[in-house]
């Protein structure tokens, strides 16, 4: 039986399987502002990003995957619940 709020029993709609992940990263809001976050799970096509606090984000942003900003992904918000944000990696 599927009950509201029981996400483990919901049908998986993602194109790629996500794997658990716990990695510190940063969201680049604009050139002068970066916000710390944690990537809690990741796949080839997207991730779940957890912000430190519930703040507005642009629909598209750059996700820095290391302290020096080397690896990075352009992201588009797919869903959001409080401080958790589901993103799709984009090419643009």
User: Tell me: the pLDDT tens digits for 24-82?
Assistant: 999 999 888 999 999 999 999 999 999 999 999 999 999 998 777 778 999 999 999 99
User: Tell me: the pLDDT tens digits for 13-26?
Assistant: 555 566 777 889 99
pLDDT at 65: 87
Residue 25 β-bridge partners: 37
How many H helices and E strands in the chain? 0, 6
Q: Which backbone phi and psi does 9 adopt, to 5 degrees? A: -95, -5
Domain-embedded: residue 5: no
Residue 28 β-bridge partners: 34, 62
Domain-embedded: residue 2: no
Domain-embedded: residue 7: no
CATH number at residue 80: 2.40.10.220
**How much is the pTM?**
0.76
Number of domains in the chain: 1
Domain-embedded: residue 9: no
Domain-embedded: residue 56: yes
* pLDDT over 50 (residue 3): no
Residue 52: domain span: 17-90
């Amino acid at each position: 039986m599927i009950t509201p709020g029981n996400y483990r029993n919901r049908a998986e709609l993602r194109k790629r399987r996500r794997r658990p992940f716990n990695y510190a990263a940063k969201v680049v809001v604009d050139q002068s502002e970066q916000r710390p976050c944690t990537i809690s799970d990741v796949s080839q096509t997207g991730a779940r990003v957890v912000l430190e606090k519930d703040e507005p984000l642009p629909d598209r942003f750059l996700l820095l995957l290391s302290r020096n900003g080397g690896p990075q992904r352009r992201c588009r918000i797919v869903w959001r619940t409080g401080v958790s944000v589901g993103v799709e990696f984009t090419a643009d």
